[in-house]
């Protein structure tokens, strides 16, 4: 079986009609608010965007939309160390000054971005090899920059992307880590607080939106800093999504809530949505993007601890996503400055509306009808009960390979038309040290080997129940002949148990 990530396969829609009902005509929709900024204000939230200072003076339509639609701005590059201080003690504030001036003119909140990061450092900093020299350089950079914008930039990203899932100690081995050790993180927050005691200081990172290993490591790191009264006030979950697979709203909301319960302000700090992972018509990509943005923005609006959503730009043509070599349509306005469906997804999200959920597409997901509709794959399936589970449970035991487990085989009708979906399941593994569980759709199309569309992966300790959740989008080039939902993943001999399996289609909730 070809193990192919869900959306690396060339799948394009059978035909626009197949999604006909899901494609909503936004042209005649009368929003409750004329702008995103008004919608956000009604919820007591901020809607922001990354800003390219050069465009402010060269693109008047860009400047107009920026002023009208957004109540907050983050300089995309202008306040990073490299652009600000290209040589030691030689500053270029021109770009940052123009962004700050425009923001103040339009009563927009400013967030500075970012002091310690492994990218866009000036070469003179990258060549430092003495720890105290690096400390002094960082302190002086913070003091000079924060003093200039004191009372104007009141929120700063102090540390960016310090966690690295693949590094032995869990920390990205950047120059700060190499010379100062992991304590550079608290040192940076202490320095920034001394430079501007009134500023709110944030940690910022990507791939920490959904519950999982990196989010857990980040949570423990920030919980420790807060417990030791290190001056940290917020966290930014960057949310660089792919519209074919992104965090489920319930998962994101639980994650936002646990950071907020530490006393931190939480933000969606760099939202955009790659479309290239969903090979299909532009309408399909836009439809999936609209729902992904609605779910993500509504998750913030519905959580009291989430204060701001910032898009990482708003015009597709100027997005950093295109720097990566693939054609993306990651933001809210197309190349004609027209609002895309994603704009309306943000609008509905700002109005606190999640996408509409259809009925669960999984049959007997609660195992109240014993094992009907489920089969064991190279394993022995049994219906069981657990003290710590209120519902019946299905277990795959005597698993003979990592691909064996449990499957529901008759889901072709559910997915034949493609669309956007969200799933959840309670899962448990028994018999080994932490192991990973895969949830996937196994798709067969005539004339092709079966392909595996990965929906989610969770690494969990043995003997505990964990919730797996995720959202995804599908589009087909040729209609599939069979679609199965599969749970697999741990090594052979490890038992896999599941219950409360649900999978719902997501529909736009406009108006």
Q: Which residues are catalytic?
A: 161, 270
Nearer of residues 318 and 415 to ligand G3I, judged by Cβ: 318
- DSSP for 24-55, please give it: ---TT---SSSSHHHHHHHTT-EEEEEE-HHH
From the CB of 313, what's the least distance to ligand G3I, in Å? 7
Nearer of residues 86 and 492 to ligand G3I, judged by Cβ: 86
Local structure of 250: helix, strand or coil: helix
Q: In angstroms, rounded to a whole number, what is the distance separating the alpha carbons of residues 308 and 269? A: 8
For the four alpha carbons of 51, 53, 59 and 61, in that order, the dihedral sign comes to positive
**Tokens 């064991």 — which residue?**
376
Q: What is the Rg, in whole angstroms, of the alpha carbon atoms belonging to the chain?
A: 24
From the CB of 318, what's the least distance to ligand G3I, in Å? 9
Among residues 227, 349, 244, the alpha carbon closest in space to that of 286 is found at 244
Nearer of residues 84 and 103 to ligand G3I, judged by Cβ: 84
Q: In angstroms, rounded to a whole number, what is the distance separating the alpha carbons of residues 414 and 476? A: 13
CA end-to-end span of the chain, whole Å?
Answer: 44
Distances (CA, A) of 316 to 47, 170, 337: 17, 34, 9
Strand order in the sheet with 482-488: 374-377, 405-408, 482-488, 435-444, 451-460
Q: In angstroms, rounded to a whole number, what is the distance separating the alpha carbons of residues 92 and 85? A: 6
- Per-residue DSSP letter, 198: T
How many CB atoms within 10 Å of residue 360? 17
Give the distance, in angstroms, between the CA of residue 363 and the centroid of all CA atoms in the same chain. Answer: 29
- Which positions touch ligand G3I (CB under 6 A)? 76-77, 113, 119-120, 160, 238, 270, 320
**The 3-state secondary structure of 88-108, one letter per residue:** CCECCCHHHHHHHHHHHHCCC
Residue nearest to ligand G3I (CB): 320
From the CB of 323, what's the least distance to ligand G3I, in Å? 6
Q: In angstroms, rounded to a whole number, what is the distance separating the alpha carbons of residues 152 and 380? A: 64
From the CB of 315, what's the least distance to ligand G3I, in Å? 13
From the CB of 478, what's the least distance to ligand G3I, in Å? 35
- Per-residue DSSP letter, 508: -
Nearer of residues 140 and 322 to ligand G3I, judged by Cβ: 322
From the CB of 63, what's the least distance to ligand G3I, in Å? 17
Q: In angstroms, rounded to a whole number, what is the distance separating the alpha carbons of residues 397 and 374? A: 14
Among residues 183, 249, 171, 244, the alpha carbon closest in space to that of 12 is found at 244
Among residues 357, 371, 399, 395, the alpha carbon closest in space to that of 489 is found at 399
Q: In angstroms, rounded to a whole number, what is the distance separating the alpha carbons of residues 201 and 406? A: 46
Q: In angstroms, rounded to a whole number, what is the distance separating the alpha carbons of residues 418 and 421? A: 9
Nearer of residues 33 and 217 to ligand G3I, judged by Cβ: 217
With beta carbons less than 8 A apart as the criterion, state whether 71 and 109 touch. Answer: yes
């Amino acid at each position: 079986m070809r193990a192919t990530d869900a959306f690396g396969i060339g799948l394009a829609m059978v035909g626009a009609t197949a999604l006909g009902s899901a494609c909503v005509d936004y042209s005649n929709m009368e929003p409750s608010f004329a702008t995103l900024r008004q919608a956000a204000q009604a919820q007591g939230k901020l809607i922001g965007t990354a800003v390219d200072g050069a465009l402010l003076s060269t693109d008047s339509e860009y400047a107009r939309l920026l002023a009208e639609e957004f109540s907050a701005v983050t300089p995309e590059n202008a306040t990073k160390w490299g652009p600000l201080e290209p040589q030691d003690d030689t500053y270029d504030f021109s770009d940052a000054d123009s962004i700050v001036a425009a923001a103040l003119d339009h009563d927009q909140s400013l967030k500075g971005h970012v002091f310690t990061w492994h990218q866009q450092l000036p070469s003179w900093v990258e060549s430092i090899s003495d720890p105290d020299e690096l400390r002094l350089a960082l302190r002086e950079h913070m003091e000079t920059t924060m003093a200039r914008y004191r009372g104007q930039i009141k929120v700063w990203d102090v540390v960016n992307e310090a966690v690295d899932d693949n590094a032995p100690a869990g920390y990205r081995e950047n120059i700060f880590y190499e010379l100062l050790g992991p304590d550079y993180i608290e040192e940076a927050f202490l320095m920034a607080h001394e430079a501007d005691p009134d500023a709110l200081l944030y940690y910022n990172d990507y791939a920490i939106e959904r519950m999982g290993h990196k989010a857990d490591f980040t949570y423990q790191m920030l919980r420790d800093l807060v417990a030791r009264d290190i001056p940290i006030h917020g966290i930014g979950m960057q949310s660089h999504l792919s519209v074919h697979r992104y965090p489920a709203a319930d998962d994101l909301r639980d994650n936002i809530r646990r950071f907020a319960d530490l006393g931190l302000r939480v933000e969606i700090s760099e939202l955009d949505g790659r479309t290239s992972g969903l090979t299909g018509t532009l309408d399909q990509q836009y439809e999936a993007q609209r729902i992904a943005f609605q779910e993500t923005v509504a998750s913030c609006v519905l959580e009291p601890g989430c204060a701001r959503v910032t898009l990482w730009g708003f015009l597709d043509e100027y997005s950093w996503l295109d720097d990566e070599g693939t054609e993306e349509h990651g933001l809210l306005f197309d190349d004609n400055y027209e609002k895309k469906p994603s704009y309306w997804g943000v609008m509905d999200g700002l109005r606190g509306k999640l996408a509409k959920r259809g009925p669960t597409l999984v049959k007997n997901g609660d195992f109240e009808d014993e094992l009907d509709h489920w089969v064991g794959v190279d394993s022995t399936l049994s219906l069981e009960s657990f003290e710590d589970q209120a519902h019946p449970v299905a277990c795959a035991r005597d698993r003979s390979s990592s691909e064996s487990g449990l499957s529901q085989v008759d889901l072709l009708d559910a997915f034949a038309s493609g669309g956007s979906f969200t799933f959840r399941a309670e899962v448990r593994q028994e018999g080994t040290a932490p192991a990973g569980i895969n949830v996937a759709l196994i798709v067969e199309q005539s004339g092709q080997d079966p392909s595996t569309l990965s929906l989610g992966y969770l690494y969990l300790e043995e003997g505990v129940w964990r919730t797996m959740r995720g959202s995804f989008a599908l589009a087909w080039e040729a209609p599939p002949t069979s679609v199965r939902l599969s749970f697999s993943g741990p090594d052979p001999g490890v038992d896999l148990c599941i219950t409360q399996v649900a999978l719902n289609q997501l529909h736009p909730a406009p108006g």
